[in-house]
A and B are shown apart, each in its own frame.
Chain A
Amino acid sequence: MIEGKILIWRLKYGSSDALQRIYEKYVAYLVTLATALLNDVSAAEDIVHDVFVSFAQSTEKLRLEGSLKAYLATCVVNRVRDRVRTRQRQPARLDEACSICSTANGPELSAVCGEELQKLSCAITKLPYEQKEVIILHLQGGLMFKQIAESQNLSINTVQSRYRYALDKLRSLLNSEMT
C-alpha cells in the first residue's frame, strides 16, 4: 500500500516511470479480474486498456483514499458493469459460454487452465452477475468485504450474503458435474 502511495506521488509529478511501474504491477491482475467477470478475454483486455488510458489522463486530479490496487479494481468493475448492462440489452451470443479458459490466448493460458479450473469458469458464468462480482473481487481481487461494500454502495451484510449464495451455488454446480 505504501509502495502504491509512493508510485501515485511520483505519478502526480509526471513520472512516466511510475506509470509504467504501476502498469506492469497490476495489468495481469486486472485482466484476470475483468476476464473472470466477463468470460471474454478480448473484452476484458479492452476494458483494462481503457482503464489505464483514463487513469493516465487523470492522475493530477487523483485523490486516493484507499489502496491503488483496490482503486484500479473498482475502475475495472465499474466498466465491466457498464459492459454487462449493455450486453443485457443485446441478444446473447452462443459462443460466450465458458469462454474464460476456452478463448485462445496463447499457450500460457491453456497450461494454467486445468480441467477443474475450466469447470469452475463454466460454473462462474452461471452465477448472477452481482454474486459473481462479489466472489471474484473477494477471492481473485483480494478485496475485503468492507472495500467491496464501499465501492458498490452496499451494506457489508448484503455483500456477505451475496458471497455465501455464490459459494453455495458454485458448490452445487461443481458437485453436480462431478457426480
Chain B
Amino acid sequence: MKPAEIEELVKKLHVKPGDEMYGRTLTDMLEAQKTSREKLAARQPNLWRFIMESKITRYSAAAVVTLAAALVLLGPFGTSKNGSIVWAEVVENVSQMRTVIHKEKYVFWDMGKEEPFLEANAMKLDAMKYASEEYGVAEDVFDVFGDKGTLLAQVYLLKETQQGVMVAPTEKKYGKLSMPEDIFNRITGILTPRGMVEYFRSGQYTELGRAKFDNFDVEGFETTDPNVLYPLPEPLRSFFPVNYIVGRIWIDVETSLPVSIEAEFNTDRGLFTGFNKLHGEWRAYDFQWNAELPEGIFEPNIPDDYTEFKVTDLIPPEAKAGFVGLGIIPAGFIFWKKRRIKRVKANRHE
C-alpha cells in the first residue's frame, strides 16, 4: 500500500454517533446553556440599581429623558386651525415671549414594579426651568425622594460662551462642555420660546377637545407617532430605546399659550435605562411667560472646593465593569480604531 492510499483510507474513517448519545448530549447541552445564562444574569451587575444609587447619575439619566421629552413634545404640532385654537396665533404669541419660567416633574420606574411612589422602585424629580432668548437656559433640579427637596443639580446652557455647565452640589462636582454653534443652537432652540415656535410648525396630531386644566379652559392635542415624537438618530435611540410614546399639549383658549405639556413613554432595555424596561412620565407646567428672571440666574456658582467631573464619572466602577463585560466599550473603540486606520491608509494612497 502506498502512503497516498493510506492517507485516503484514513480520511474514509467515519463513526456515526449513537441515537441515545445524540439525543442525550443535545438535551444536556441545551440545559447547560440555559443554566449558564441564568447564572450569568444573576451575577450581572444591575446597572439600573447603580444609576439609582448615585444621585448625579440619576440626574444624568433623567436629563436624557428630559431632552428626549423636550424634543418629543415640541415637535408634532402644525400651524393649521383646530377647533377654536388657531395655531398661527399660538406661534405668534409664543414667539413674542422673550423669557419663560416653568416647573417640571418627572417620574419613571421599572415596568412590572408598578409602585412609582416607593423610592426603591422609582426616580422622582422636580425641576424649575428658566429660559431667555438673550442668555440661554438654566435649570434647577430637586430630588423628591431621599432628602426631600435637595438641590441635585444646576444645569446651564449659556449663549454667550456657547457652553453647557452642570453643577452638582451633592457630589461637589462640576462639568463644562463647549459646543459647536449649530449643536448649541439646536439644543437651546428646543428649550427656548423661539425654539418652541420652530417645533410647532410641523407634524401630525389628534384633537383631544376642550377640558378644564388648572383653572384654565384648554384645548388638548395628542400625538403618538414615535418617529415624530422621538427624532433621535439610531445610535442614540438605542441608548434610550423608547418604543411607545404619547405626547400631549394643552393650550389656553383665552391666551393661545401652552398651559401644560406632558409625555408618557415606555422603553426597551438600553444603556441609559440600566438595561431595564422603564415606564416614564414627564410634565412641564405652570408657565410664566415674559416673567422677570431672578438676578444672576445665568451665572453658575461653582465653589472652590468643587472638582471637575468627566463623563466617565457618571458611570460607577461596577457598572463600567459591566459595560466592558458586555463588549460595549471595546466594540466602540475597535470601530473608531478601524475607521482611523482606514482613514490613514486612504490618506497614504492619495
Instruction: Flag if B25 contacts A28 (CB, 8 Å).
Output: no
Instruction: Flag if A117 contacts B22 (CB, 8 Å).
Output: no
Instruction: Flag if B16 contacts A28 (CB, 8 Å).
Output: yes
Contact of A49 among B6, B9, B24 (CB under 8 A): B24
> B206 to nearest A CB, angstroms?
39
Q: Which residue of A lies closest to B17 (CB)?
A: A31
Which residues of B from 6 to 26 have beta carbons under 8 Å from A? 6-7, 9-19, 21-22, 24-26
Question: Taking the complex as formed, is A16 at the interface, i.e. its CB lies under 8 A from any CB of chain B?
Answer: yes
Instruction: Flag if B15 contacts A44 (CB, 8 Å).
Output: yes
Assuming the contacts A14-B37, A45-B18, A56-B33, asked whether A139 and B11 have C-beta atoms less than 8 A apart, the reply is: yes
Instruction: Flag if A60 contacts B40 (CB, 8 Å).
Output: yes
**Interchain CA distance A107-B327 in the complex, whole Å:** 48
Question: Taking the complex as formed, is B32 at the interface, i.e. its CB lies under 8 A from any CB of chain A?
Answer: yes
Interface string of B22-65 (1 = CB under 8 A from A): 10111011101111110010000000000000000000000000
Instruction: Flag if A53 contacts B11 (CB, 8 Å).
Output: no
Contact of B17 among A28, A54, A140, A175 (CB under 8 A): A28
Question: Taking the complex as formed, is A36 at the interface, i.e. its CB lies under 8 A from any CB of chain B?
Answer: yes
Instruction: Flag if B1 contacts A48 (CB, 8 Å).
Output: no
Question: Taking the complex as formed, is A159 at the interface, i.e. its CB lies under 8 A from any CB of chain B?
Answer: no
Instruction: Flag if A32 contacts B36 (CB, 8 Å).
Output: no
**Interchain CA distance A100-B21 in the complex, whole Å:** 17
- Among A16, A31, A117: residue with most chain B CB under 10 A: A31
Contact of B32 among A27, A45, A56 (CB under 8 A): A56
Question: Taking the complex as formed, is B3 at the interface, i.e. its CB lies under 8 A from any CB of chain A?
Answer: yes
Contacts of A171 in B (CB 8 A): 1-3, 6
> B5 to nearest A CB, angstroms?
9
Question: Taking the complex as formed, is A178 at the interface, i.e. its CB lies under 8 A from any CB of chain B?
Answer: yes
Give the A-B pair count, Cβ closer than 8 A: 111
Instruction: Flag if B29 contacts A55 (CB, 8 Å).
Output: yes
Helix, strand, loop or mixed for chain B's interface?
A: helix
Instruction: Flag if B13 contacts A36 (CB, 8 Å).
Output: yes
Assuming the contacts A59-B33, A170-B6, asked whether A27 and B25 have C-beta atoms less than 8 A apart, the reply is: yes
Contacts of A44 in B (CB 8 A): 15
Instruction: Flag if A120 contacts B14 (CB, 8 Å).
Output: no
Instruction: Flag if A105 contacts B18 (CB, 8 Å).
Output: yes
Instruction: Flag if B25 contacts A49 (CB, 8 Å).
Output: yes
Contacts of A48 in B (CB 8 A): 17, 21, 25
Instruction: Name the segment of A72-80, A81-89, A90-98, A108-116 touching the other chain.
Output: A108-116
Contact of B7 among A16, A45, A108, A139 (CB under 8 A): A139
Contacts of A45 in B (CB 8 A): 17-18, 21, 25
Contacts of B16 in A (CB 8 A): 28, 31, 105-106, 108-109, 112
Instruction: Flag if B13 contacts A16 (CB, 8 Å).
Output: no
> A18 to nearest B CB, angstroms?
10
Which residues of A from 120 to 179 have beta carbons under 8 Å from B? 120-121, 124, 135-136, 139-140, 167, 170-171, 174-175, 178
Question: Taking the complex as formed, is A8 at the interface, i.e. its CB lies under 8 A from any CB of chain B?
Answer: no
Contacts of A109 in B (CB 8 A): 15-16
Instruction: Flag if A56 contacts B17 (CB, 8 Å).
Output: no
Interface string of B305-327 (1 = CB under 8 A from A): 00000000000000000000000
> B81 to nearest A CB, angstroms?
51
> B24 to nearest A CB, angstroms?
7
Contact of A178 among B1, B6, B11 (CB under 8 A): B1
Question: Taking the complex as formed, is A19 at the interface, i.e. its CB lies under 8 A from any CB of chain B?
Answer: yes
Interface string of A1-32 (1 = CB under 8 A from B): 00000000000001010011001000110011
Contacts of B2 in A (CB 8 A): 171
Contact of B29 among A23, A108, A140, A175 (CB under 8 A): A23
Q: Which residue of B lies closest to A45 (CB)?
A: B21
Assuming the contacts A27-B17, A49-B24, A60-B40, asked whether A19 and B9 have C-beta atoms less than 8 A apart, the reply is: no
Contacts of A41 in B (CB 8 A): 15, 18
Instruction: Flag if A19 contacts B30 (CB, 8 Å).
Output: yes
Instruction: Flag if B28 contacts A53 (CB, 8 Å).
Output: yes
**Interchain CA distance A32-B16 in the complex, whole Å:** 7
**Interchain CA distance A14-B2 in the complex, whole Å:** 48
Taking Cβ atoms with an 8 Å cutoff, the residues of B that contact A are 1-3, 6-7, 9-19, 21-22, 24-26, 28-30, 32-37, 40
The 5 closest A-B pairs by CB, nearest first: A56-B33, A139-B10, A45-B21, A56-B32, A49-B25
Sample of 17 further A-B pairs with CB below 8 A, known A23-B29, A53-B29, A56-B32: A28-B16, A31-B17, A44-B15, A45-B17, A53-B32, A59-B33, A100-B13, A105-B16, A108-B16, A109-B15, A109-B16, A120-B10, A135-B10, A139-B7, A139-B10, A140-B13, A175-B1
